[in-house]
Amino acid sequence: MADMIVAENLAYWYGELVAVDHVSFNVAEGEILGFLGPNGAGKTTAVKMLTGLMRPKAGKAVVLGLDMAKNTEKVQGEMGVCFESANLYEQMSALENLKLFARLFGIDGFDPYALLKRVGLDGREKDRVETYSKGMKQRLMVARSIINRPKVLFLDEPTAGLDPSSSESILEIIREERERGATVLLTTHDMEEADKLSDRVAFMNKGKIAALDTPHNLKQQYGKRALKARVAVAGGKLEDREVVMDTPETAKAIQELFAREKVVTVHSEEATLEDIFIKITGRGLTG
Amino acid sequence: MKWSIIGAIVSKDLSLYFRNKFIAVITVLGIAAFLVIYLVMPGTASVTDVGLYAPVVPPAFAEEDNEHIVFVMVDSEAALREAVAGSDYSVGVALPADIMEKFARGEKPDVKIYSSPETTEEARELFRNFVKGLAFEQTGQLASFNETEIVLGTDLLGQDIPLRERMRPLFAVMLLMIEMFGLANLITVEVERRTVQGLLVTPMRVRELFAAKGISGIILSFVPAALFMAVVGGLNSQPLVILAAMLLGAIMVTGISFLVASLSNDFMSIIGWVFVVLIIMVIPAVGIMMPGTITGWAKAIPSYYLVLPVHQAAHYGSGWGDVWQYLLALAGFDLAFIGLGIMALRRKFQ
């Protein structure tokens, strides 16, 4: 499949501070790439260069096979961007917001009601956005980003701070967009969300890509699987035991655990993306 | 340029402008307040008393029936000088005792015109011509007296025009300028709430955004000022010249608004900057409306080239040929402000 997003040695710096340090990666057609990293890692600056909001100081951003710096207008007509903080016209209704952007994209015969229904905002179409909850605004942001049925979708923390229900409805829309054929670059702090949605994840740290692979491969490479057991000991107390999986001694260790201890509960445990991120970068995603 | 995109942004801006209750209220109140002030001002020109010392009064002077100028006889030339110096009269005219004999012999009598120090050249010229006119009536000859002395005096030229009409261009310019609040606020809010980022990831180009903001700004400043002038009869003389000057003024206001928006983060900072600009920009307007109150340095203030053509066209019927150089200077200021404003705002958008 063709690469829809390509970062070639992309770099940006603010004076002495290097925000993005010669980063290279690609996102294939129909793929969801999770872009993970703590605040200040350079994710937003990288996305701004890929969406044409900023010119790279070095390197090249290629989207839909076109150099973004030379074809900004053409590429932007085919992409959608959802920002982390809601930047909607709050004194206008959802309907007016969508109609405005439909005009900017030159879309004829646009049905804003259908799109608002899809994101669960039917019935509130004509209310001013300033009266919406955070979750409703975020759903409207997502609706705005897919108004032109984009080939490439950039989503920056689309579910940050939302309740599980709003969050799930947004994740469902992202899945639907992928099924439609859209390529998605998903920037997020939420490793669980990235794990569920992403075909591959990129760990960004201090302006560089620290690791890039499928969540499964990263877990295989950097994580350890374990069997966690809770056992009853003298005096009725409970204690935890751990058996590392995938070693030659695993089978024997499990057998001994059940023979020697009074096992109350047992479950398997996999490393999370956050565990792996910490292992690779030495810092947490929220740091 | 994609005009459909520019049209979408302009219509959004105008809609948002009037949804901001504060801005909408000050716009409407601004027009209403200036209309009220205009209507309560004197609708007729004031009468100027002119001191006259004349041992012999020529019939033309005695029979003079000008509705704006009344001659008041004084007893001596010394008393006349004292009265003018004490501002009892704006101007004093002293005629010689042998005036009629000299007229009869075809000679030119010596006439003295006194006025106080603030009088402009225009006002002095007006009275010189007025006295020459009376002498012409008396003798049937042009330049039939020797003007031997002129003591400068207060503004008299403007007093031929009712106060409210003199203030009309000032009000129109104030209405143009006051829209800086609204336009600068529209842009600042767009940047601070990051809605501009949403626009810049669509097929809209930055130049189209500037074009849209510029058109919104020109509409918002020009329309209220033009409406005001139309309602108060300010477009009765040379309407095209006045409208052209105001349109150029609206472009200048838009450029200044861009600069103000680039320097501001919220409405309080906008208010601060706009007041500084307003105070400076109103100075030439006051000076032109009330000659003698300011000196030549006011010509360095851009609004001078807006108020002057509006004033001259509205009050003296000056046409394109009389005011083109002012309009050209104003267009130059427009280019400078728009250029600087775009440069400053472009940095902020990024």
* Residues of chain A contacting residue B15, judged by C-beta atoms under 8 Å apart: 92, 96
Q: What are phi and psi of A86, to 5 degrees?
A: -65, 115
Q: What SS3 class is residue A268?
A: strand
Q: Cβ of B12 and A88 within 8 Å?
A: no
Q: Is the pTM of this model over 0.80?
A: no
> Which residues in chain B touch residue A100, judged by CB atoms under 8 angstroms apart?
8, 12
What would the pLDDT profile of A207-234 be if each residue is shown by its tens digit? 999 999 998 888 888 777 788 899 998 8
The Cα–Cα gap between B7 and A204 comes to 41
Which residue of A48, A55, A78, A89 to mutate against B (max B Cβ within 10 Å)? A89
Does ipTM come in above 0.85? Answer: no
Selected residue of A103, A140, A144 to mutate for chain B interface (largest B Cβ count, 10 A): A103
Q: What is the DSSP letter of B109?
A: P
d(CA B74, CA B202) in angstroms, rounded, equals 80
> Quick check: A232 contacting B, CB < 8 Å?
no
Q: A81 and B5: CB-CB below 8 Å?
A: no
Return per-residue pLDDT of chain B as tens, 350 residues: 888 899 999 999 888 888 877 777 877 877 787 777 777 666 665 556 778 888 887 777 777 667 667 778 888 888 888 777 665 676 788 888 888 888 778 788 888 888 765 455 556 666 777 777 777 777 776 656 776 555 544 343 444 566 777 778 788 888 888 888 888 988 998 988 899 999 999 999 889 999 999 999 999 999 999 998 898 888 888 999 999 999 999 999 999 999 999 999 888 899 889 988 988 888 888 777 665 556 567 788 899 899 889 888 887 788 899 899 999 999 999 999 999 999 999 888 76
Which residues fall within 8 angstroms of residue A111, CB to CB, at 6 or more apart?
Answer: none
Which residues on chain B place their C-beta less than 8 Å from a C-beta of chain A?
A: 2, 4-5, 7-8, 12, 15-16, 19-20, 193-195, 197-205, 350
Name the residue type at position A81: V
Give strand pairing partners of A153: A80, A184
Q: Which chain B residue has its CA at the smallest distance from A96's CA?
A: B12
Give the C-alpha separation, B58 to B79, whole Å: 20
CB contact under 8 A, A103 and B197: no
